[in-house]
């Protein structure tokens, strides 16, 4: 794990490029550090030796009286490489590089960024940037940044329970402004820029280790180091720190040309989402929503269950929240008879339901707190969503006060639906550090995250690799390997003559399927190399010649496969080695038509059985597999066990680049792989 404690709490810093010009980045950093009350040592580095009050300026970093923890580079791009190398030789921990003009600026810029990478690898100095917006840690008085979010009174640059890692300095500045406007703040923000060295994963790990961080928000354009990113998410999971991400771009690193069904289905966007889903990451649509969700998660303990009671006094709000909760993990249980008896005397025009519309409030504004408390203490729910509005404005403060005085066993999350009317009551909630937002979608997303069960990450010990087979493989050879993994495969025979094919069909029992056996063509259906539902010897003998004659000239043919014809609900199970994230497993409804249905889920391998069961349950077409009208609905637990098992074989056999089991059919008693394709290529 990268130790970035000295970056977040440096005892000393040097500003390379510090000048007397208040518009320059170097001087802005100095002013910001002073305004926030940084207590450590600051030096300036500038060969022109400007005279600055209270700051010693030296001509080069070699002349510094001590080795600083951090050097802030506010110098042109062309000079940064030499600075980084010299800093590393002196033993400096981290260099923050503000300058642009690196990899994003073409070939010449790429060469400059390569210099930074080389300096880091050769000397051990860590590089944050280039194009970094810097680091801000209000509790430490650290403002090693030029961002405009710091151009406000120091009292508004507060510390809070949410940490931020951002690949966009401008959007990071925006989140700081959002926090300030809400009377809140960030524990720390780390702007990674081009990530020549330190990246998003390092930032997440640093915030996981930082005391006081209760949730981590991430503005993500691309993942450059998949394994490190996964390690960071796992560390956050282990520490019980929720992660909320806003994705503002798609990674080109996950793209590669594939012809398999798995490759066609596992687009980079889907792969990245699969990784986030596996680690329980909440994905927000905008930075504003991200901050709202993270703020709620930072101030609310994990819920003991998914049952939520919603209390409001607006029928329209009740309907809207019901709509937003639909399709999430949130459950809205109907009130028990005991709770109904408690609530009915407190309501006028309202109805005892969930969501609960209080209508008119009998006996004054304090009734709101009493109703919330009654729902919270009923045993019917694991949390309460209390919706406050200015109804009427004069009651707002008393209504909130009645909430705050309750001592409840389950968390209460607040949704403010009054705008600036009665805003003093909203400030009361914020000053009391209550989880509160003004955005309905954000509160539902946050509660859904709080109800999500802990993730069961698979044991990384997947065993020793199997011997690498000779490539390319026929379908028959691929199925033999898959069967050795314990996956049921369709019963069949590999034969070389039409008479043997007919004899195999007689032995198996009709109907049967006849497929050409060749290592040269993977998707034989596209060339007419498959004949299905054959019910007689004559049909099998005719198909024997036909399936071989349709192949391209020069194709190597090794006879045919004769197999039982099976019908039933179909799925595809596949795997590929993504360039960014490594081995990934895919499952989808529809088998050979999965691409048309586009109903698939992707997750990093290996999978635990629990994770496999979860991603299966998230398939949109699940009802196709579990149709209650079927005589024997498909066994999803058995499918999860197969998915988990093949994921382990895929991880350990690094000679296996991708695979398709397509389709895998439920035959009313077990799952059976009807086709198998394994792409074998040794990895160095």
Strand positions, DSSP E, 235-369: 243-247, 282-284, 308-312, 347-351, 356-361
Asked if the domains at 301-434 and 570-680 fall in one CATH topology, the answer is no
Give 283's strand partners. 245
Instruction: Please list the helix, strand and coil fractions of the chain in percent, rounded to the nearest 5, in that order.
Output: 40, 25, 40
Hey, which CATH number is domain 301-434, 3.40.50.261, 3.30.390.10, 3.40.50.1220, 3.90.209.20? 3.40.50.261
E strand intervals along 9-58: 12-16, 41-45, 56-58
Whether the bond into 355 is cis, omega within 30 of 0: yes
Cβ(27)–Cβ(51) below 8 Å: no
Tokens read off for 217: 């928000």
Q: Mark residue 509 as left, alpha or beta (left: phi above 0; alpha: psi -120 to 50; beta: remaining).
A: left
For residue 583, count CB atoms less than 10 angstroms from its CB and return exposed for 0-12, middle for 13-18, buried for 19 or more: buried
CA–CA separation, 659 vs 482, rounded Å?
Answer: 10
Kind and range of the H or E run holding 134: strand 134-137
Q: How confident is the model at residue 60, as a pLDDT?
A: 97
Query: What pTM did the predictor assign?
Result: 0.91
68 is written with which tokens? 């600083």
Q: Rounded to the nearest 5 degrees, what angle is found at the Cα of 498, between the Cα atoms of 492 and 502?
A: 50
Interacting residues of 326 by C-beta distance below 8 A, sequence separation 6+: none
DSSP 496-521: SSHHHHHHHHHHH-SSEEEEE--SS-
d(CA 177, CA 153) in angstroms, rounded, equals 12
CA distance 666 to 568: 5
Q: 226-239 and 268-278 are packed helices; what angle lies between their axes, rounded to 10 degrees?
A: 20
Cβ neighbours of residue 563 under 8 Å, at least 6 residues apart? 490, 491, 492, 493, 508, 512, 513, 515, 674
Low-confidence ranges of the chain (pLDDT < 50): 250-261, 684
Tokens of 233: 């998410």
3-state secondary structure of 21: coil
Cis peptide before 511 (omega within 30 of 0): yes
Q: Which of 200, 178, 203 is nearest to 188 (CA)?
A: 203
Q: What is the pLDDT of residue 256?
A: 35
Which bin fits 101, alpha (ψ -120 to 50), beta or left (φ > 0)? left
In this predicted structure, what is the pLDDT of residue 260? 34
Here the tokens at position 34 are 């002073």
Query: What topology does CATH give the domain 5-213?
Result: Rossmann fold (3.40.50)
Q: What is the predicted pLDDT for the residue at 350?
A: 64
Q: b/e string for 72-99 if b means 16 or more Cβ within 10 A?
A: bbbbebeebbebbbbbbebebbbbbbbb
Q: Which CATH number fits domain 570-680: 3.10.560.10, 3.40.50.10490, 3.30.470.20, 3.40.50.12160?
A: 3.30.470.20
Going from N- to C-terminal start, the domains of the chain cover 5-213, 301-434, 491-564, 570-680
Beta bridge partner(s), residue 576:
584, 658
Gap between the Cα atoms of 33 and 55, Å rounded? 12
Return the closest-CA partner of residue 496 out of 553, 562, 551: 562
* Half-sphere exposure for 429 (CA within 13 Å, toward CB): 28
Note the pLDDT of residue 550: 83
Please give the Cα distance from 154 to 588 (Å, whole number): 53
Number of H helices, E strands in the chain: 23, 29
Which is nearest to 179 in space by CA: 291, 96, 67?
A: 291
User: Is CATH 3.30.1490.20 the right assignment for the domain spanning 491-564?
Assistant: yes
Give the Cα-Cα-Cα angle 579, 580, 583 (nearest 5 degrees).
Answer: 70
Residue 439's pLDDT is 96
Give one word for 327, left, alpha or beta, with left for phi > 0 and alpha for psi -120 to 50.
left
Q: Are 119 and 127 in contact (CB under 8 A)?
A: yes
Among residues 321, 328, 326, 413, which one has the least CA distance to residue 375? 413
CA-to-CA distance for 591 and 302, rounded, in angstroms? Answer: 38
The pLDDT, as a whole number, for residue 257 is 27
Residues 166, 277: Cα–Cα separation, whole Å: 20
Three-state SS sequence of 256-267: CCCCCHHHHHCC
């Amino acid at each position: 794990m990268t130790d970035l404690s000295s970056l977040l709490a440096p005892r000393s810093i040097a500003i390379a490029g510090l000048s007397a010009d208040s518009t320059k980045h170097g001087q802005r950093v100095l002013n910001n550090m002073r305004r926030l009350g940084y207590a450590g040592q600051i030096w300036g580095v500038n060969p022109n030796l400007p005279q600055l009050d209270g700051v010693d300026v030296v001509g080069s970093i070699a002349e510094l009286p001590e080795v600083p923890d951090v050097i802030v580079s506010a110098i042109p791009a062309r000079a940064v490489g030499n600075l980084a190398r010299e800093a590393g030789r002196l033993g400096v921990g981290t260099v923050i590089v503000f300058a642009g003009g690196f990899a994003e600026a073409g070939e010449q810029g790429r060469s400059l960024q390569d210099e930074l990478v080389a300096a880091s690898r050769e000397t051990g100095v860590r590089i944050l940037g280039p194009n970094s917006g810097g680091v801000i840690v209000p509790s430490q008085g650290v403002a090693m940044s030029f961002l405009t979010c710091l151009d406000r009174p120091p009292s508004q640059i507060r510390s809070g329970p949410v940490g931020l890692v951002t690949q966009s300095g401008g959007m990071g500045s925006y989140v700081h402004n959002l926090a300030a406007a809400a009377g809140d703040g960030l524990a720390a923000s780390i702007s990674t820029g081009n990530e020549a060295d330190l990246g998003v994963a390092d930032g997440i790990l640093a915030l996981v280790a930082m005391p006081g961080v209760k949730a981590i928000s991430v503005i993500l354009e691309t993942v450059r180091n998949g394994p490190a990113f996964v390690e960071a998410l796992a560390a956050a999971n282990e520490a019980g720190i929720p992660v909320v991400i806003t994705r503002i771009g798609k990674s080109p690193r996950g793209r590669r040309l594939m012809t398999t069904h798995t490759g066609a289905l596992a687009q980079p966007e889907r792969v990245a989402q699969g990784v986030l889903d596996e680690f329980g990451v909440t994905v927000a649509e905008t930075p504003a929503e991200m901050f709202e969700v993270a703020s709620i998660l930072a101030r609310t303990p994990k819920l003991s269950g998914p049952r939520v009671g919603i209390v409001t006094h607006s029928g329209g709000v009740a309907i809207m929240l019901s709509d937003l909760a639909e399709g999430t993990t949130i459950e809205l249980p109907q009130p028990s008879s005991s709770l109904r008896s408690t609530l009915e005397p407190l309501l006028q025009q309202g109805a005892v339901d969930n969501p609960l519309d209080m209508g008119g409030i009998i006996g004054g504004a304090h009734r709101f707190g009493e109703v919330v408390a009654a729902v919270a203490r009923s045993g019917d729910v694991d949390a309460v969503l209390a919706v406050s509005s200015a109804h009427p404005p004069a009651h707002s403060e008393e209504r909130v006060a009645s909430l705050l005085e309750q001592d409840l066993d389950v968390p209460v999350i607040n949704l403010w639906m009054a705008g600036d009317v009665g805003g003093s009551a909203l400030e009361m909630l914020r000053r009391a550090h209550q989880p509160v937002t003004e955005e309905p979608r954000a509160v539902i997303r946050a509660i859904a995250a709080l109800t999500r069960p802990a993730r069961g990450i698979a044991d990384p010990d997947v065993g020793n690799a199997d011997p690498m087979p000779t490539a390319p493989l026929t379908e028959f050879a691929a199925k033999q390997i898959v069967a050795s993994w314990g996956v049921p495969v369709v019963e069949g025979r590999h034969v070389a003559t039409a008479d043997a094919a007919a004899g195999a069909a007689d032995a198996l029992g009709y109907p049967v399927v006849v497929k050409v056996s060749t290592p040269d063509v993977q998707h034989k259906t596209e060339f007419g190399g498959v004949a299905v539902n054959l019910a007689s010897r004559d049909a099998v003998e005719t198909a024997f010649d036909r399936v071989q004659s349709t192949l391209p000239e020069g194709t190597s043919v090794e006879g045919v496969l004769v197999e039982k014809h099976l019908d039933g609900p179909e799925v595809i199970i596949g795997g590929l080695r993504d360039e960014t994230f490594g081995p990934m497993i895919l499952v989808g409804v529809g088998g050979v038509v999965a691409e048309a249905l586009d109903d698939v889920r992707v997750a990093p391998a290996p999978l635990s059985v629990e994770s496999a069961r979860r991603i299966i349950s998230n398939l949109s077409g699940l009802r196709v597999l579990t149709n209650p009208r079927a005589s024997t609905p498909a066994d999803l637990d058995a499918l999860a066990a197969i998915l988990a098992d093949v994921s382990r074989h895929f991880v350990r056999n690094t000679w296996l680049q991708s695979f398709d089991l397509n389709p895998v059919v439920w035959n009313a008693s077990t799952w059976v792989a009807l086709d198998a394709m394994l792409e074998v290529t040794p990895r160095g």
